[in-house]
Amino acid sequence: MILVAGSANMDFVVRAAHIPSPGETVLGRDFKTYPGGKGANQAVAAARAGGVPTHMLLALGADAHAEPLEASLREALVKLHLVRVPDQTTGCAFICVSDDAENAITVAPGANLSLQPRHLPPLVGFSHLMLQLETPLATVTAYAQAARRQGVTVVLNPAPAQALPAPLLEAVDILIVNEGELAALAGHQGSIAQCLERIHVPTVVVTLGHHGCCARSHGVFFLQEAFDVTPVDTTGAGDTFCGSLVAALHLGADIPLALRMASAAGALACTRPGAQSSIPQAAEVTAFLAQQPPPNPARITALRYLCGLTGPASPR
């Protein structure tokens, strides 16, 4: 079983030609709300990957936004450990999605900040604990340490990026970062390989957008080229990647296969609007993978250069 402990937000999304610069007002177009939040998105992604009992620990306020967030998780068959916070608003995210499918997100965390160390349920039966950084850092650290003590694999997606206390990183088994988060954690602007040298977590996965992703697991590097899709909205694609990756590992996939599954799920998520609304079911991922061409050696070589890898080729 997988336990996700983290945020749930109602996403308020407006589409516009471009994302406003500081001080700029942009006249947008259609407006919609979608269930989101990095934690909840990752839980839905793990559950939709199929065959993985997924639980989520979350905190919601007592307002109108709580019910649709709860419903979306339950519909995905995520079992909830729900903390009700009557005097707080449910987490909200204000998102502008541009015509080139990029986004800018501001989160009002509200009830998410009420998750406390004492809320962690017993970890018996859980193989993986997934964490992000939209809940208090002290709570995330306490959860990671409790899981580490009990032999549960700790997966951290340190988003939104912020400085991490050493005791948190020491308790993490699998770190999933994008390039910006990697550089922030490493405190270094060099190549991905150089940044990875500064991070002493057993497995680090780095997502590289339309280039693909790479992983260093117990000293071995793996590369996965991106799948070509026409993006509509990239919101939640990273969370889809995280949830799908952990689900695949839980089901016994090795790192190369888990990267492939997660990349396919993330690519599909980019082709649909919204966060949880965009996360594919396992059968869709399988069908998508069946249509893909064989790996392209030229793109893998380009990815190797991008990562600053000069050593022997990775297994895949």
Residue with token string 């793996």 = 222
Q: How far is the CB of 94 from ligand RIB (least distance, A)?
A: 9
Q: What is the DSSP letter of 32?
A: E
Cβ atoms within 10 Å of 269's Cβ, excluding its own: 30
- Judged by CB under 6 A, which stretch of 3-11, 72-80, 251-259, 296-304 contacts ligand RIB? 3-11
Q: Which two tokens stand for residue 92?
A: 């909200």
CB of 241 to ligand RIB, least distance (A): 10
Which residue type occupies 42? Q
CB 235 within 8 A of CB 241: no
Whether the CB-CB separation of 260 and 189 falls below 8 Å is answered with no
Q: By rule CB under 6 A, what string of x and - marks binding of each residue 87-126 to ligand RIB? A: ------x-----------x-x-------------------
Q: Which stretch binds ligand RIB (CB under 6 A): 199-207, 231-239, 255-263, 286-294?
A: 231-239
Distance CA 91, CA 134 (A): 9
Candidates 239, 261, 263, 307; binder of ligand RIB (CB under 6 A) is 239
Active-site hit among 11, 233, 239, 254: 239
- Sequence letter at residue 234: T
Residues in Cβ contact with 173 at an 8 Å cutoff, skipping those fewer than 6 apart: 148, 153, 154, 155, 201, 202, 203
Distance in Å, CB of 107 to ligand RIB, minimum: 5
Separation of alpha carbons 105 and 98, rounded Å: 12
Chain positions 169 to 228 lying near ligand RIB, rule: CB under 6 A, are: none
11 binds ligand RIB (CB under 6 A): yes
Least distance (Å) from ligand RIB to the CB of residue 16? Answer: 17
Q: Which residues contact 248 (CB under 8 A, 6 or more apart)?
A: 49, 257, 258, 261, 262
- What is the distance between the alpha carbons of residues 94 and 92, in angstroms, rounded to a whole number? 7
# binding residues, ligand RIB (CB under 6 A) = 16
Name which of 213 and 309 has its Cβ closer to ligand RIB: 213
For the segment 124-153, give every residue that binds ligand RIB (CB under 6 A).
Answer: 134
Restricted to residues 15-74, the positions that interact with ligand RIB (CB under 6 A) are 36-38, 41
The DSSP-derived string for 214-235 is EEEETTEEEEEEPPP---S--T
**Contact flags string 243-282 toward ligand RIB, x per CB under 6 A:** --------------------------------x-------
Nearer to ligand RIB, 65 or 250 (CB): 65
**Is 239 among the residues known to form the active site?**
yes
Q: How would you list the strands of the sheet with 31-36, edge to edge? A: 31-36, 9-16, 91-98, 103-108
Q: How far is the CB of 277 from ligand RIB (least distance, A)?
A: 10
CB of 96 to ligand RIB, least distance (A): 12
Residue 146 or 229: which CB sits closer to ligand RIB? 229
The span from the CA of 263 to the CA of 191, in Å, is 22
Cα separation values, 44 from 12, 197, 280, Å: 19, 32, 10
Nearer to ligand RIB, 217 or 244 (CB): 244
Q: Which residues does the annotation mark as catalytic?
A: 239
Which residues form the interface with ligand RIB (CB under 6 A)? Answer: 7, 9, 11, 36-38, 41, 93, 105, 107, 134, 235-236, 238-239, 275
